[in-house]
């Protein structure tokens, strides 16, 4: 079968499209014929070495497809079932073998492309809005990278929960996407100081929560956008990691909270995985959540897809098609 592999860390040029041996399902695994694989920023972190993985490796942490084979101990699935998964390395391939406990069923009303797009980013937006800081009616929140894959989903979930949403984007085109998703205010951070704008919009009060996937370039100002007892939720490093910070500064700024959550912890048990993915799929089927799917690349073009993502040339979700 074909797969996208890396043998060393580095830029997109270290990715190679090559023939590898097709995996077989062990006793507790299902073999999935991949129909769609999602591309996420974490893939670029693992490729570059910011997040360490064992090499050589097949990239990709989420996919959807059809069960092609089941192991002797598998009880949850049958051959032919439509399924999806996340948090298992190896999605940039024609087939993936995954433990049944990491796999969920896709409803008939949800496409393979939606299934792949919903797993990592949809479940991320779910834990951010439902668990890390459970948004309640009347809350205000600042969402960075509001036109990104997680950002557009998070806006919708925050609005469905009754929040007032401020988003930051880099271009007017992305601003329109974030507004269409339901954002109440959009700040073009390339033209305006987002901290000053948040203070203006909130009459100096600040927001209850900041969802920051950008990291280094936004971190300190994001904290200054919070009101007393506000939550700084740092869940990504698109501009680089935050390497220096003094926690003592959180006290004088309003007894603030700082957390660095990961999807792995929020889907560590079967119950959590089924709850989050189930909600996301249900909301898609009911029309309460719309995924932006317009960037499709062939598996052979994964390098080009990474370049587009890191060059901020995309909005919404990027899908690889084997």
Count CB neighbours of 140 within 10 A: 23
Q: Is the pLDDT confidence value at 9 over 90?
A: yes
Most confident range, picked from 46-55, 143-152, 203-212, 307-316: 203-212
Average pLDDT over residues 293-307: 94
Model confidence band, residue 237 (pLDDT cutoffs 50, 70, 90): confident
Q: Is the pLDDT confidence value at 314 over 80?
A: no
Residue 294: its pLDDT value, please? 78
Per the listing, tokens 């995954």 go with: 98
Which long-range contacts link 50-53 to residues 24+ away (Cβ below 8 Å)?
A: 50/237, 50/241, 53/89
Residue 279: its pLDDT value, please? 97
- pTM value surpassing 0.85: yes
Tens digit of pLDDT for each residue in 145-163? 999 889 999 999 999 999 9
Burial 109-136 (b: 16+ CB within 10 A, else e): ebbbbbbbbbbbbbbbbbbbbbebbebe
Average pLDDT over residues 267-281: 96
Q: Could you give the CA distance from residue 316 to residue 189 in angstroms, rounded to a whole number?
A: 18
SS3 114: helix
Q: Is the pLDDT confidence value at 132 over 80?
A: yes
Contacts of 92 (CB under 8 A, 6+ apart): 3, 4, 37, 58, 59, 60, 299, 302, 320
- Maximum CA pair distance of the chain? 62
DSSP assignment, residue 276?
H
Average pLDDT over residues 63-91: 96
Tens digit of pLDDT for each residue in 12-21? 999 999 999 9
Residue 296: its pLDDT value, please? 94
Hey, what domains does the chain have and what are their CATH numbers?
Answer: 2-105+292-321 (3.90.180.10), 125-261 (3.40.50.720)
Q: Is the pLDDT confidence value at 130 over 80?
A: yes
Contacts of 242 (CB under 8 A, 6+ apart): 215, 216, 219, 234
Mean pLDDT is lowest, of 69-78, 113-122, 258-267, 313-322, for: 313-322
HSE at residue 169, side-chain half, CA atoms within 13 A, is 26
φ, ψ for residue 229 (rounded to 5)?
Answer: 65, 20
Residue 317: its pLDDT value, please? 84
SS3 101: helix
Q: Are 236 and 41 in contact (CB under 8 A)?
A: yes
């Amino acid at each position: 079968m074909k797969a996208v592999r890396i043998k060393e860390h580095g830029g997109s040029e270290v990715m190679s499209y090559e023939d590898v041996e097709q995996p077989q399902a062990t006793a507790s695994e299902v073999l999935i014929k991949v129909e769609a694989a999602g591309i996420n920023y974490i893939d670029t972190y693992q490729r570059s070495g910011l997040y360490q993985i064992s090499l050589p490796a097949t990239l990709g942490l989420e996919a959807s497809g059809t069960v092609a084979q089941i192991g002797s101990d598998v009880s949850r699935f049958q051959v032919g079932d439509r399924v999806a998964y996340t948090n298992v390395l190896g999605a940039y391939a024609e087939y993936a073998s995954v433990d049944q406990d990491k796999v969920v069923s896709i409803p008939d009303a949800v496409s393979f492309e939606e299934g792949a797009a919903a797993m990592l980013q949809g479940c991320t937006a779910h834990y951010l809005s439902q668990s890390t800081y459970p948004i309640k009616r009347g809350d205000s929140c600042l969402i960075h990278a509001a036109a990104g894959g997680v950002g557009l989903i998070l806006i919708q979930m925050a609005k469905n929960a009754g929040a007032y949403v401020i988003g930051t984007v880099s271009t007017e085109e992305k601003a329109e996407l974030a507004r269409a998703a339901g954002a109440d205010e959009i700040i073009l951070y390339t033209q305006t100081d987002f901290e000053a704008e948040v203070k203006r919009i909130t009459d100096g009060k600040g927001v209850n929560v900041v969802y920051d996937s950008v990291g280094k370039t936004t971190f300190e100002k994001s904290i200054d956008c919070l009101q007393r007892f506000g939550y700084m939720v740092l869940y990504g490093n698109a501009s680089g990691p935050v390497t220096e910070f003094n926690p003592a500064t959180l006290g004088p700024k309003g007894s603030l909270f700082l957390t660095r959550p990961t999807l792995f912890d929020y889907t560590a048990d079967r119950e959590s995985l089924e709850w989050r993915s189930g909600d996301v799929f249900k909301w898609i089927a009911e029309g309460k959540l719309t995924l932006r799917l317009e960037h499709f690349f062939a598996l052979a073009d994964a390098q080009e897809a990474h370049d587009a993502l890191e060059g901020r040339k995309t909005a919404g979700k990027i899908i690889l098609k084997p």
